[in-house]
Amino acid sequence: MNLSAAALAWGLVGCAGIVQAWAQAPVATERAAASVERGRALLLQRQDTGCVLCHQIPGLPAGGAIGPSLHGLAERSTLSQARLHIADARRFNPQTIMPAYLSTEGLHNVAAGLQGQTILTPQSLEDILVYLFQPTARTPVIAP
C-alpha cells in the first residue's frame, strides 16, 4: 500500500472494519522496511512526536510519567493493538490526552499549514513499533 492509499483508507475511518483490516495486514511493505534506529530517533524527539515526554521508554533516557511506561509492552499488547493505540488512542479511550498520530479526524485548532496531515506516516509508525517490540525492550528479569 502506498502512502496515498494509506491516507485514503485512513480517511474512511468511520468504517471501523477498514481500520481493523489496515491494522492487521497491509502494512507489510512498511514493516519490511522498518528501522529500529529510525524508531529510536522518533521516540526521542520532543517536538515532533513527544512520546518521551509522557512515557518511560526502554533504552531511552528517563521519560515522563503522564502515560504508562512502555517497558514490557510486547508482553501485554499485540502489535496490532499497539499500532492502533499509537495511530489513534481515542479508539481505546475517547478522553485520552495522547495525540492521534495517524489520524486527521475530529481534530480542532489545527494550524492552516498542517491541516490534513498526520503526525506520523505509516512508515514512521512501523519504525516506532519495531523499536518497541524488539526483544531487549521486554521487562528486565531481575534475578532473585
Q: Least Å distance between CB 118 and ligand HEC?
A: 11
Judged by beta carbon, residue 49 or residue 103, the one nearer ligand HEC is 49
Q: Least Å distance between CB 95 and ligand HEC?
A: 8
First CA to last CA distance, the chain: 48
Q: Least Å distance between CB 26 and ligand HEC?
A: 20
Q: Three-class SS of residue 84? A: helix
C-alpha cell at 134: 524488539
User: Is residue 68 a contact point for ligand HEC (CB under 6 A)?
Assistant: yes
- Cell 477498514 locates to 18
Give the total of residues touching ligand HEC (CB under 6 A): 25
Q: Please, which of residues 86-105 interact with ligand HEC by CB under 6 A?
A: 86, 89, 92-93, 96-99, 101
Judged by beta carbon, residue 22 or residue 125, the one nearer ligand HEC is 125
User: Is residue 59 a contact point for ligand HEC (CB under 6 A)?
Assistant: no
The secondary structure of 70-124, three-state, reads: CCCHHHHCCHHHHHHHHHCHHHCCCCCCCCCCCCCCCCCCCCHHHCCCCCCCHHH
